[in-house]
Amino acid sequence: SQTIHQWPATLVQPVGSPLSLECTVEGTSNPNLYWYRQAAGRGLQLLFYSVGIGQISSEVPQNLSASRPQDRQFILSSKKLLLSDSGFYLCASDRISYTFGSGTRLTVV
């Protein structure tokens, strides 16, 4: 079965600082990978998805970017964080059914 690793679990970053969140997948190959964000008290919003190495689709215009340097690695980045970037970030893979990583809670201060 597939396992998704996400780190860090929590992060507090100042406004204007860079961001890098990493997601790696085990137990499957060539998965579709997704980054979601969940703001406090709100639903899951799809940010990016990738169907393969170097292939990234953005769902909403924003201050973030994503990259997929390897088949099982998906990275979410920002050059300068905004207060509105705070939220719970979840990586997901859908090789069989949608499986989520444990998430990163980001607070921008």
Minimum CB separation from other proteins for residue 32, in Å? 5
Complex with other proteins: residue 7 or 98, whichever CB lies closer: 98
Phi, psi angle pair for 92, to nearest 5°: -140, 155
How far apart, in whole angstroms, are the C-alpha atoms of residue 47 and residue 27? 24
Question: Smallest distance from the beta carbon of 102 to other proteins, in angstroms?
Answer: 5
In degrees and rounded to multiples of 5, residue 85 shows phi and psi of: -80, -5
Closest distance between other proteins and the C-beta of residue 3, in Å?
12
Query: CA–CA separation, 26 vs 3, rounded Å?
Result: 5
Residue closer to other proteins by CB (options 57, 77) is: 57
Residue closer to other proteins (CB basis): 67 or 100: 100
Interface residues toward other proteins, by CB under 8 A: 32, 34, 36, 42-44, 46, 49, 51, 59, 90, 92, 94, 97-103, 105
Pick from 67, 55, 69, 60: which is nearest to 87 by CA? 60
Cβ proximity to other proteins, 75 vs 101, nearer residue: 101
